[in-house]
Chains A and B, each alone.
Chain A
Amino acid sequence: MSRFVIVTAAVLGLALGAAGSAQAADAKEVFDFYCAQCHGVKGDGKGVNVTKDFATDPRNFTNKEDMAKRTDEDIKTVIRDGGPAISKSPLMPPWASTLTAAEVDGLLAYIRKMGK
């Protein structure tokens, strides 16, 4: 009986682990495609678009202190509606009509991990 429980738990654990990594991969794919050009693949705010002409510093998601000041709702709002929605730069564009709610949630979780 106990052996059955262990095996079941192991299988369940593997399944959950696989689901978790699939979700993480999706968020990374979304981040790399839509966000990395300005925020950088590492999330450090050093994307390829950030030249001397770029009028603001894209958020550095690896900065723990700075990210601690941002609420989850602020981050989701700025992703959906763009910088001006939280009094930030319009260089952050609105993605509401491009991304699903689940993709925005996935991005939030992915971004949060960068600061840890």
Chain B
Amino acid sequence: MRLLAVTVSLGAALLVTMTAPSYAAGGDAIFKKSCTSCHYTDGPAKEKTIADQLAKKGPELFYAGSKFQKDWLTAWLQAPKPIRPMKYNSLTDKNAGDHPKLSAGDAANVSEFLMGLTSKEVKAGVIQAKSNVQGKNIFGKKAPCSGCHEYSDKGVLRGGKSGPSLAGASKRLNPDWIYAYMTNIKAFKPVRDMPDFASVLNPKDLENVAAYVATFE
């Protein structure tokens, strides 16, 4: 009887030991171990002051699943290239391009985890990527996003440097998120250096510029 108890205990211990690695390889566990010093995933947004925003080392990811495209995210985590020309929260230091790389397996798991973090503020199927004159005019002239955001003009990078680059937005961003972000920016980033354009552009303008940005190569 005593032997049986010991055997059962050993078996249970062995089972725990054997199952532990598969848990550790899960995307949430990898994220907690490797990413939380710079990113947080438990929304809503925590920042209340400029100092709160400046204390962050990287963007909040609690709506990552609504913001990104999964294929892009999985590939980027394995070979990250700068999205922002400048270092996060800096106007003087360039982005060093030193975001950690993940293995293919870890990238797939972390991507799976992040894509599960969605926002109810983002309604699906509202915006289709579409080049349009109105959106182009807003982006470049009327409320010039290009003042702060880089974009590719036939392969040549143009535009401002302080915001995240929008070159390659067609592969990186969910068009519905672009629209939701412009429509209700405070729900995503209550403290940010981007103006609230919903206060000056009407919903149709916002749709047009979101559809236009979503075409960016």
Contact B142 A90 (CB under 8 A): yes
Q: How near does chain B come to A91, taking the closest CB pair, in angstroms?
A: 5
User: Which DSSP category, helix, strand, loop or mixed, fits chain A's interface?
Assistant: loop
Given contacts A90-B143, A94-B200, contact A37 B195 (CB under 8 A): no
Shortest distance from the beta carbon of A15 to any chain B beta carbon, whole Å: 23
Residues of chain B within 8 A of A53, CB atoms compared: 146, 158-160
B53: nearest chain-A partner, CB-CB: A33
| Interface range for B | 20 to 34
Query: B193 CB to closest chain A CB, in angstroms?
Result: 6
- Does A37 lie within 8 Å of B193, measured CB to CB? yes
Partner of B199, one of A34, A41, A47, A94: A94
- Distance to closest chain B CB from A114 (angstroms): 17
Out of A47, A82, A91, which one reaches B91, CB within 8 Å? A47
Query: A26: nearest residue on chain B (CB-CB)?
Result: B50
- Whether the pair A48, B50 counts as a contact (CB closer than 8 A) is no
> What is the minimal beta-carbon distance from B46 to any residue of chain A, in angstroms?
17
Partner of B193 from A33, A41, A55, A90 at Cβ < 8 Å: A33
A54 at the interface (CB under 8 A from B): yes
Chain B residues with CB under 8 Å of chain A are 50-51, 53-54, 86, 91-92, 141-144, 146-148, 158-162, 193, 195-197, 199-200
11 A–B contacts from the bound complex (CB under 8 Å):
A29-B51, A33-B193, A41-B92, A48-B91, A48-B92, A51-B158, A54-B147, A82-B200, A90-B144, A93-B147, A97-B199
